[in-house]
């Protein structure tokens, strides 16, 4: 009898605290997520070996599979004894990619072109873009570039979120930062200034650009769309604004100490502030409207009251004058 009772209680506990349909669905969902994570971390299989590095040629197109992802590129299996490296800049030529995950995924089949191959070092470089044969002899050497050299009718080849690369006929594309695009002069008062290049897209032709700097060590140079004379004027204006000190009343003060509102902000004694007002603000008090008798008596009582520390209490009108001189107009 006792055994039967215990068995019945165990069956009841199993029903009350056992697997419910809701818990079962939740457990199956977790298992599916874990299985998906394992499959996503698993490297895809190599393609069957059917190519040799010694037989590959530059410009040859191959079918590959993405096997490994890095922040700077991806490794693609093309059926050779080593994986080819696909740099992030060679994935797309019409847009900028910050990381290869924006366009590729593990196990994806891609069509790649052989960019460079070295059978001795077992190195293979790939590209998703067709190779463009360039004659370096006709290109402008970086050593021949000069600052403020002008190029006309140049074409934008690539755009990034913060810059653009422009083909000016040199060995490497020119670097055009967004701050170097510049604005046209204001044609009409109240009309906003328009950018010199709009829109900033591949294929857009820029009328004129100027070289601002050349770095032979890093093999790059920078250009701008603003004419030299315009950049000189802007620099002079900025220099003038930095040197000129104009107060809020429109008067020029060579020394900050001569400003009437220039007093120590950290001063705790209000008598120092009153002394400044007494020296410089007599006309302000003279021009004030006459007060009524009752208000004059109240202000006189406020002036006579002093704290235990000897700090004078300001009246309402004096506080108004103080705020008038301490705040910008």
N-terminal to C-terminal alpha carbon distance within the chain: 98
DSSP state of 200: -
Tell me the CA distances in angstroms from 170 to 93, 143, 226, 308, one per residue in order.
19, 10, 20, 81
Say what percent of the chain tops pLDDT 90: 28
List the single range of 94-98, 143-147, 244-248 with lowest mean pLDDT.
244-248
**Residue 247: pLDDT over 50:** no
- Bond prior to 199 in cis (omega within 30° of 0): yes
**What's the mean pLDDT when you consider all of the chain?**
76
Poorest-pLDDT segment among 69-73, 147-151, 264-268? 264-268
pLDDT band at 134 (very low <50, low <70, confident <90, very high): low
pLDDT in tens, 193-246: 888 888 888 889 999 999 999 999 988 999 999 888 877 666 666 666 665 544
Q: Quick check: 68 pLDDT over 60?
A: yes
**Count of Cβ atoms closer than 10 Å to residue 312 Cβ:** 16
- pLDDT of 128 reads 92
> Which is nearest to 46 in space by CA: 64, 72, 69?
64
- Tell me which residue has tokens 């690369």: 165
CA–CA separation, 93 and 201 (whole Å): 12
Per-residue model confidence as pLDDT tens digits over 295-307:
555 555 555 544 4
- Structure confidence at residue 110 as a pLDDT band (50, 70, 90): very high
Pairwise CA distance, residues 238 & 202, whole Å: 33
Residues 6+ apart with CB under 8 A from 170: 139, 140, 141, 142, 145, 221
Q: What is the dihedral of CA 134, 138, 142, 147, to 10 degrees?
A: -120
Q: Is the pLDDT of residue 250 over 80?
A: no
CA 104 to chain CA centroid, nearest Å: 24
Average pLDDT over every residue of 112-123: 92
Q: What is the pLDDT of residue 184?
A: 80
CA atoms of 113 and 127, how far apart (whole Å) = 5
d(CA 215, CA 196): 25
Say what percent of the chain tops pLDDT 70. Answer: 67
**The pLDDT value given to residue 131:** 82
- Residue linked to tokens 């039967």: 4
Residue-wise pLDDT tens digits, 150-166: 999 999 988 888 899 99
**pLDDT tens-digit map of 5-17:** 888 888 777 766 6
List CB contacts of 71: < 8 A, sequence separation 6 or more. 99, 100
Residues 152-183: b if buried by 16+ CB within 10 A, e if exposed: eebebebbeeebbbbebebeebbbbeeebbbe
> Would you call 56 helix, strand, or coil by DSSP?
coil
pLDDT at 221: 94
Q: Which residues contact 189 (CB under 8 A, 6 or more apart)?
A: none
Q: What integer pLDDT is reported at residue 235 of this predicted model?
A: 63
Cα separation, 201 vs 180, in Å, equals 16
């Amino acid at each position: 009898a006792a055994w039967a009772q215990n068995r019945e209680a165990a069956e009841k506990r199993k029903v009350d605290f056992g697997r419910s349909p809701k818990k079962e669905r939740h457990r199956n969902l977790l298992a599916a997520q874990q299985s998906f994570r394992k499959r996503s971390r698993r490297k895809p299989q190599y393609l069957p070996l059917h190519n040799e590095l010694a037989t590959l040629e530059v410009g040859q197109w191959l079918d590959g599979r993405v096997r490994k992802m890095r922040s700077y590129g991806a490794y693609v299996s093309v059926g050779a004894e080593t994986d080819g490296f696909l740099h992030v800049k060679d994935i797309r030529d019409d847009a900028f990619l910050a990381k290869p995950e924006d366009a590729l995924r593990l196990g994806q089949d891609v069509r790649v072109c052989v960019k460079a191959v070295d059978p001795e070092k077992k190195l293979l470089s790939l590209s998703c873009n067709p190779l463009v044969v360039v004659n370096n002899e006709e290109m402008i050497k970086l050593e021949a570039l000069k600052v403020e050299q002008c190029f006309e009718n140049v074409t934008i080849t690539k755009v990034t979120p913060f810059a653009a690369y422009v083909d000016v006929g040199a060995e490497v594309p020119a670097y055009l930062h967004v701050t170097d695009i510049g604005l046209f002069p204001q044609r009409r008062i109240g009309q906003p200034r328009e950018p010199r290049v709009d829109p900033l897209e591949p294929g857009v032709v820029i009328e004129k650009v100027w070289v601002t700097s050349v770095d032979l060590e890093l093999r790059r140079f920078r250009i701008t769309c603003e004419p030299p004379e315009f950049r000189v004027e802007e620099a002079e204006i900025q220099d003038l604004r930095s040197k000129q000190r104009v107060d809020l009343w429109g008067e020029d003060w060579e020394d900050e100490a001569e400003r009437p509102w220039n007093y120590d902000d950290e001063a705790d004694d209000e008598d120092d502030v009153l002394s400044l007002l007494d020296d410089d603000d007599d006309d302000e008090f003279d021009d004030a409207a006459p007060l009524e008798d009752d208000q004059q008596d109240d202000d006189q009582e406020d002036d006579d009251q002093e704290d235990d520390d000897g700090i004078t209490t300001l009246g309402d009108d004096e506080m108004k004058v103080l705020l008038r001189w301490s705040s910008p107009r």
